[in-house]
A and B are shown apart, each in its own frame.
Chain A
Amino acid sequence: MALATGTPLGTITSQDEIYLEGAPNIYFQDATATPLNNPDVSTYYWGLSGTATYPVYQLSCYLDVSLGEDVTVNAVRCDTVGDKSAIQKRNYLELTLTLKTFFPLSVLRHVLNISAPATSLTDLEKVGIGKINNNRFYMVYLPKVYDEDTGDYVLIHLHRAQFVDAWSISMRSGENWDVSGIRLRGYADETKPANQLFGTIVRADPSAI
């Protein structure tokens, strides 16, 4: 409701009364693959399309999902007046979560930075814990349908991410195992246009846009 007094004059763009709840789905795919929209008609790069060589992986059960960023901020300080501005530089985006599901190992091995698995088709799955491969990058795709009736959704796509940091597996009595310390760091992808160097956000909502 507009205020009787004190409302600014001129063009005003206000926010929608739409509230998002809960974690998005989390998918990732080897960044060697090309995104589904590569690019789309508006020259944005986003979406995943799994192939036999580059399958899409989906995390199943997780909690404490949070997306943030790391930015270097240096003030432009003048002794006469104090800070006049700030120089900011985005370093990376970071998705953190705690994973509650473990299997199959062929998915978990990416999250834990462990070796390629070997599967004996009918009974065994094996992975080694060796050196970390620092040359593995992933596209990360986080869609969230916020209106189930109309299918309105928002998605976040990171172009070039890596699982970083040390994980920790909690094995408490009476509780299911969880893997904490999972950190997906989304770096700049220099093959993408400057305006979407780190990622893309897409919203689909025909009734509101």
Chain B
Amino acid sequence: MGKNKLALHPLKKREIKDVARKGITYISALLTLLLLTLIFVHIAQGGGSLLSAELLTSDYASLTYTYESSAVSSYYAAPSASDIAFSSAWGVGLKDETSLTGESVVSLVYLAPSSPMGKLSSEVKVGAYFTKAFFQDEAGNNVIALAKDGAKGVIETFEKGKTLTSFSITTKGGGIRASLLSTLLVIAISLLLSLPLGIGSAIYFSYFANKKNPLVRLLEKMIAVTAGIPSIVFGLIGVAVFIPFSSLFTGVNTGSLLSGCFTLVIILLPSIVKSAEEALDEVPKDYRTAALALGSSERQALHKIILPSALPGLLSASVLAAGRIIGESAALVFAIGNVISDTVSLSGKNATLAVEIWSLLAGENPNYRLASAIALIILIVISLLSLAAKILTTVFLKKRGHV
């Protein structure tokens, strides 16, 4: 570098070094922010287009339905959209599209309000994929419209048909209703089981225990060590312990949502205990002394004064625990399974949202769009939860007069 050849005043050299050093810290910080933005933006781009109420409420499986009919053709006005193939005899608009899995499909994009197709079933709706239809033409011959004819070809056949014999459509599928429901169920039950245990332990350590007692310290150490265990190992324990255990309740010998919940309980315990303990330690010791001096017992002081006072902090700990559950994947692959079925029950092996993402990635043809859509949902929920936890802690500390 040229700089070495110039005999710079040593002070100037130091100043240049300082600027470079400071620059590095600015760049580092910027990179960190950039990273966060990149992750969010990329996921939003990848899956945002898929986000809809339909995604959240429909089934994953793509099912084909066939309906018998004897409807006759009539006349229906064409819709204003110009790029769809429209059958004026039946009031149906079709379009060639590519499904999420990359196949070419003929999608039902318009249905006239009084079209006989629409009256067949609620499943015949905009968004469904046309499969096939049997008609009889004016001369009484059978004509068949098949999806592989393409939208235009199908409509041509439609226009020839005078009477409809049968009509088949295939649902879009790719919905995450089941995974969503499974996740919510798992969160609810896991929190129900782990929060009392975790907060109870925290109460013991913060309020009742004598910290100088080596047994107490041993208990604390044991919980602290559990915090460092990778979640996949908890998954193994789920298989070894909780699957047999929960078969007592569910009657099945395989992974189930219930065994997943139990596994999550031991995963969550250390962090719940830690944050609940912090929340309890924030409550001034004077509250307890004052309550006792007024004649109440330790338990009354705890339930009537200390716990209500620590409530925001405890809520914050719960919110964080919920966030952790949503994101847990490795353990649940083992403890529940990764079946993407559309029936949800405690004994089912439904994949939760996070597990579904992993499952989609692990296959041969990863469905990146769906994975990103699910990831987006998770990211949004987690951001909201983190924000909520932060607000709760700030409210909490403000009450103490700390902020």
Q: Do A and B come from one complex?
A: no
Q: Which residues of A contact B (CB under 8 A)?
A: none
Q: Which residues of B contact A (CB under 8 A)?
A: none
